[in-house]
A and B are shown apart, each in its own frame.
Chain A
């Protein structure tokens, strides 16, 4: 597994819950939203998405409902629950805190300084 893949694995939950915060979506739509919201920088395949979805379902952070599409096919929509919103808030704070810590440790200073530095380089 590449470094990027490893980093992605740790952030799929936070991205997924954030996406579901706005709308109920099905699997394929969720993958498209990942790419759209990250400007193409964060792409996820369905194979990587499903385990996270099912894990969050088991924990009760999200729920699912089936909708009939066409004559026989059903589509599964996922929705974030109140416990999921609380969990999202908690892990977002942890994620931001961790990232700031990493940037400090790497010598980039605070996040705003790092972002400003990159903006000047562009």
Chain B
């Protein structure tokens, strides 16, 4: 993937930065990033002396690429995507809270039962001592 003047590291950092800036992350964005890599390599083949700065000038900064791509999607799609993400986080948070509550409750009940059992044992010993 290395070209004459653009290093693989630079290309990789550009793609990572674009991916990070994307609003939606799904199969389409994965496809877009793959297509972007191909197009950058095509550009480098046709412009062999191009530098990383030339690439950023032609394709845009990662934030710009991500923004243009996101704008291209239907507004409703982005709203639905954001809602789905929010819903997912909310469900995970609620489930975590429930699990924590159940866990805490279980620990408290077990601790209480052990204390109760120990008390009964003590009472039994004293009763036996008295009888003897």
Of B41, B42, B43, B72, the residue contacting A48 (CB under 8 A) is: B72
Check if A48 sits within 8 Å of B38, measured CB to CB: no
Instruction: Please measure, in the bound complex, the distance between the C-alpha atom of A34 and the C-alpha atom of B39, giving whole angstroms.
Output: 15
Instruction: Please measure, in the bound complex, the distance between the C-alpha atom of A26 and the C-alpha atom of B40, giving whole angstroms.
Output: 12
Interface residue? B65 (CB, 8 A): yes
Given A27-B35, A54-B28, the answer on whether A47 and B59 have CB atoms closer than 8 Å is yes
**Binary A-proximity of B66-107 (CB < 8 A = 1, otherwise 0):** 111101110000000000000000000000000000000000
Check if A76 sits within 8 Å of B72, measured CB to CB: no
Given A47-B60, A47-B64, the answer on whether A27 and B38 have CB atoms closer than 8 Å is yes
Given A45-B60, A73-B41, the answer on whether A1 and B71 have CB atoms closer than 8 Å is yes
Of B28, B36, B41, B67, the residue contacting A46 (CB under 8 A) is: B36
**Binary B-proximity of A1-19 (CB < 8 A = 1, otherwise 0):** 1000000010000000000
Tally chain A residues at the interface, Cβ within 8 Å.
Answer: 20
Of A31, A47, A54, A75, the residue contacting B38 (CB under 8 A) is: A75
Q: Would you mind naming 16 contact pairs between A and B with Cβ atoms under 8 Å apart?
A: A9-B71, A9-B72, A28-B42, A45-B59, A45-B64, A45-B68, A46-B39, A47-B36, A47-B65, A48-B69, A50-B72, A51-B28, A54-B28, A55-B72, A75-B42, A76-B38
Q: Kindly list 16 other residue pairs between chains A and B, CB separation below 8 angstroms, not including A47-B36, A50-B32, A55-B72.
A: A26-B39, A26-B42, A29-B42, A45-B64, A45-B65, A46-B35, A46-B59, A47-B60, A47-B64, A47-B72, A48-B68, A48-B69, A48-B72, A51-B71, A74-B38, A75-B38
Interface residues of A (CB under 8 A from B): 1, 9, 26-29, 31, 45-48, 50-52, 54-55, 73-76
